[in-house]
Structure 1
């Protein structure tokens, strides 16, 4: 039995999308991109990068969908944004966002979601809330590291850390706590 099948049968995901027919998985991608888009509208304006609930949504999609379908869903959402749908931060759209100050964060999202999904498949999920928190925090850290690295190329390492990483550290922890609590609550509901 392959590791994905083993993971799906061990209950890593309360949604069990790996066990569902293709039509369910396609519907999950559509709903996931909608969830990601809605999370983009919850923002605190900051310069040069706004704080949004996107990293929360990215971690949740990864944890609930698994690394493969989560990565596909997040990539689909980014493609929607690149082709002009208003699904990025604050309703932004267009390919220009994939070369500006937010590009590193945007390109980090599929990797972060896949990382959280990969960890969830290995038991870092709602059944173990502390590990779910660490998984979400790792996803947030990946976003900040890759986004900060891209920003450093544009404005220098010190300014990138000051403006593109440090202000988001507390938010990353809080969103990771919220994500772990949501996964643990969902796991309890599904067990009933």
Structure 2
């Protein structure tokens, strides 16, 4: 049986689909370490610190593809739920998911999946404008889910004021950085071909 959706998908920049199960497992471990590192790089703000966490989630999705990107992000969140200090500021445990920032965390597998899905459909380094737009859409998903959850704690107006507005410019810069990274990788792959 022919899978039409699979035939439309381009390889991701790292083309991890050709790796063995063991190779993919190593990629998941390395990806979760990268996400942890990104989480520790932060500028303190209330109620949600500005970190490179979203950059990491977008980049993992874009480089790994929608499936492995989402799996990697889920593995990282599972580590946090198990008590490993992998989130911003070393946060961990179930309380991190139950508090005001829980929505942002819950959105991350969806964000990685959307970023990877768009890259696999040509919104990649060969088209940096589309790559930026795709990352911006994925980032908007994170802010929407995160602010919706935050609204349960502080109301809709405060959720937008505290959980969206302060992060828009930073998120756009992160999207530009992911798009530039994808363009650089595409250029190097073209030169090495």
- Do both share a fold (TM > 0.5)? yes
Shift of 1:5: 5.6
In the other structure, the counterpart of 2:149 is: 150
Contact kept in structure 2, 1:4 and 1:121, CA below 8 Å:
no
Contact kept in structure 1, 2:8 and 2:121, CA below 8 Å:
no
In the other structure, the counterpart of 1:75 is: 74
**Change in CA separation of 1:6 and 1:22 when aligned onto 2, cut-off 3 Å:** farther
Q: How many residues align?
A: 189
In the other structure, the counterpart of 1:23 is: 22
| Structure 1 range deviating more: 16-25 or 28-37 | 16-25
Shift of 1:14: 2.0
Shift of 1:23: 1.1
Question: 1:106-161: per-residue Cα shift (whole Å, max 9, x none)?
Answer: 00000011011111110111111111101111111000000000001110011111
Shift of 1:94: 1.2
In the other structure, the counterpart of 1:90 is: 89
The residue correspondences of 1:1-192 to structure 2 (distance < 5 A) are 1-2=2-3, 3-4=5-6, 7=9, 10=10, 12-191=11-190, 192=192
Structure 1 residues without counterparts, runs of 5 or longer: none
- TM-score where L is the length of structure 2: 0.94
Query: How far apart in 1 are the matches of 2:26 and 2:137?
Result: 27
Query: How far apart in 2 are the matches of 1:159 and 1:144?
Result: 13
Query: How far apart in 1 are the matches of 2:110 and 2:13?
Result: 22
Contact kept in structure 1, 2:81 and 2:92, CA below 8 Å:
yes
- TM-score where L is the length of structure 1: 0.95
Query: How far apart in 2 are the matches of 1:6 and 1:112?
Result: 20
Counterpart secondary structure, 1:36: helix
Query: How far apart in 1 are the matches of 2:126 and 2:84?
Result: 36
Question: 1:13-71: per-residue Cα shift (whole Å, max 9, x none)?
Answer: 12111111111111110111011000000111111111111111111011111111100
Contact kept in structure 2, 1:104 and 1:150, CA below 8 Å:
yes
TM-align CA RMSD:
1.1
